[in-house]
Homo-oligomer: A and B are copies of this chain.
Amino acid sequence: MTDSPALAPGAGELFQLLRDGVPRTRAELAKATGLARSTIAARVDELMRIGLVTPVADGVSTGGRPPSQFALNPTAKVVLGADLGASHATVAITDLAGTVLAERTDAIDIASGPEAVLTWLVDGARALLDEVGRDVRSLASIGIGVPGPVEHSTGRPANPPIMPGWDGFDIPGWIQQHLPVPVLVDNDVNIMALGERAVVWPAVDNLMFVKIATGIGAGLISDGHLQRGAQGVAGDIGHVHVTRGGDVPCTCGNRGCLEALASGPAIARALRAAGVEAETGSDVVDLVKRGNVDAIQAVRQAGRDIGEVLTTCVSLMNPSVIAIGGSMARVGEHLIAGVREVVYTRSTPLATEHLSIVQSSTAEKAGVLGASMLAVEYALSGDALTVGLAAV
């Protein structure tokens, strides 16, 4: 079994077609994907054999024998999605349509290293499978998001700054010793972008998901595809220098980075310096919800700082949706108002004419939903059939 090979050509398109649950004929699938009818037929047969796809009422006759229609059978298998954060992690069992059947969130410490954290993940997976009355043979695949850069083709973290002990660790290989299914790993913000798009914006091809929490990062979907960049670190906007940054030191070793001014801990630090009691980003959220004016002003200013960087992103990428998520997005409109204030003032009319800047609707579920999407897409791909599932 390989770790996480690239999808077969057209596999993603086949999945996109199947996941809406609409019945289609082989000919319709071949036409829409550009794949060979023989390829489609073989994949559909294999998907039928393992029960992921079921025949439904026959389609309209074209003169000869009426072609048979097929649709995804969303309950045939389940997948596991996991969103590992710096201090919390969520793991969920979903069906193949992305519906959450069971989930759990626990406090973890990502810095305790891969074995401790992945043991929690495997134990959680088994407990959740029990909870929904399924066994490991029902599990099609696993998708995982981690808070750092990942070499997506191997599923290994690459120099992740806040994940000591994880650099180069073979996450798929370790998990497969316990759960013998295909394992896909990606950066947490990338999976959040996938989750937000799948649930809220399925028709949008140019979307940017911005996570504002302990760190700040973005997931980019451009022309319908997640963009990872040459080294897999696309979207790493937390260490862009901002005007207000000055000499404020950042954990990265540089000064004046966005993250050093507008992350949850940075806002809390600024409030403490002004005599307001706030230890964490969560404290800041509580203060804002209680109407503390200092906290509201600090959050609004953080929004402007983020807006300064996003203005360049808007000019460069021309997205039609920017979704703001992460734990700090819970402060609501005050943060987004700051972002909008700067982006709509500073960007060209063409770039903002059809641009929506909104709070993430999936809120803190974006990550685990996106991880499930990664797993489902793989489960329905040709590779999963020939490589992963066949080996189970």
Contact = CB atoms under 8 A, between A and B. Distances in A.
Contacts of A96: none
Interface stretch (A17-25, A261-269, A348-356, A366-374): A348-356
A231 B316 contact: no
A318 B223 contact: no
A309 interface: yes
Contacts of A159: 350
Contact of A353 (B39, B206, B231): B231
Interface string A212-253: 000000101011010111111111110111010000000010
A316 B317 contact: yes
A320 B233 CA distance: 11
Contacts of A36: 30, 35-39
A241 to B, nearest CB: 6
A5 interface: no
Contacts of A236: 315-316, 318, 348, 350-351
A9 interface: yes
Given A33-B9, A205-B230, A320-B230, A237 B315 contact: yes
A113 interface: no
Interface of A: 8-10, 30, 33-39, 149, 158-159, 205-206, 218, 220, 222-223, 225, 227-237, 239-241, 243, 252, 254, 308-309, 311-313, 315-320, 346-348, 350-351, 353-355
